[in-house]
Amino acid sequence: MSESVRTTPSPLLTTAGAVPNADDSPDAGVAWHYGDPLREQRTAERAVAVVDRSNRFVLSIGGDERLSWLHTISSQYVTNLADGGSAENLSLDLNGRVEHHFVLTDLDGTTWVDTEAATGPDLLTFLQKMVFWAKAEPKPAPETAVLSLLGPDVRRPRFLEALGIAELPGTYEAVALPGDGFLRSMPWPGEHAWDLVVPRERLGDWWRTLTDAGAAPAGTWAYEALRVTALRPRLGVDTDDRTIPHEVGWIGDVAEHGAVHLDKGCYRGQETVARVHNLGKPPRHLVLLHLDGSADTRPAPGDAVTAGGRTVGRVGTVVDHHELGPIALALVKRSVPADTTLEAGNTAAAIDADSVPAHEEFQPGRAAVDRLRGR
């Protein structure tokens, strides 16, 4: 059942001007753009746009112990998540490498989880295998879909009226929508971002309601462009099978807009997280690349980033931005200086110096070692 959700095209692809993503895209089944992708980006930043993200895999978790159980098997502190609270979370392997990234919202006795279409079935299988004796019931929710509203004009009264709510929720908070579903505030891909998690059968109704209120249709191209400039990674595109949370900025609790709480109890992969936090630094880090716009081709996710013919990283998301031109996220070795001449695939590239993490976090373990050595 979950497999059919991943591959069935969205009914919103019949919207005038809709251009679908390629079949091999992680966003296959929804619109890439509606004829003017750069304008769609500007609208999402300066006015209001609605993006069909109904390709997201959604599952639900019922049961009285759903949060305390999820707390023990994932990286975020969620055991005391308030009703209407949301968080980003990770599932790690035994070596601390990221297997799953997901967003969760707990509302009215159910925890709703949405994640990547390609990895959603595996996440569901993992959760179901980990239940054991806990009162938790993870199951697929193919009848549920995600839309995203982007832009400052969502705060205007006409959108509150269209949404049927008195006020917008705060960051990582959710409020119920009339007739089922909820609205969730997110800290990315832009400064003004909300997700509607609604019954799939009402996807068209909500699309019409929002566009009638003034939201412009925008494709995943616009969403991805904003996400890249916000330096927000995407699982399976900006990560590989060696990625640890520190490399891509997923460290932090809910208040810090992260996905890994550093002071919570034991969970799979915690040893690696603790070791890097206390003693070391990540071997790679996520940066923004500016690509040569005069090149005939663009690099693809997974292509090598090289310096003088030596591989120093991998390309992630590649997108054309309405102001910055062709850009990409990339995981590069932490030792590579920001002014290094690079190639991404066969395209000349340069690191945006402002995107390079400082790595100046306090390390308790390292400080203790230095004290023992009299430093």
The two structure tokens encoding residue 179: 């007739």
Q: What is the mean pLDDT of residues 143-149?
A: 98
**CB environment 53-92: b (16+ within 10 A), e (fewer):** bbbbbbbbbebebbbebbbbbbbbbbeebeebbbbbbbbb
| Interval 235-255: pLDDT, tens | 999 999 999 999 999 999 999
What is the predicted pLDDT for the residue at 362?
56
What is the predicted pLDDT for the residue at 252?
96
- Determine the distance from the C-alpha atom of residue 78 to the mean position of all C-alpha atoms in its chain, rounded to a whole number: 18
Cα dist from 52 to 43, 124, 194, 234, 252, whole Å = 15, 23, 12, 17, 28
Q: What does pLDDT average to over the chain? A: 94
Q: What is the mean pLDDT of residues 187-207?
A: 97
Percent of the chain surpassing pLDDT 90: 90
The two structure tokens encoding residue 208: 């019409």
| Interval 262-313: pLDDT, tens | 998 789 999 999 999 998 899 999 999 999 999 888 999 999 999 999 999 9
What is the predicted pLDDT for the residue at 4?
39
How many CB atoms sit inside 10 A of residue 44's CB?
Answer: 28
Q: What is the mean pLDDT of residues 347-375?
A: 70
pTM: 0.94
| Interval 106-118: pLDDT, tens | 999 999 999 999 9
pLDDT confidence of 359, banded at 50, 70, 90?
A: confident
Q: Are 30 and 54 in contact (CB under 8 A)?
A: yes
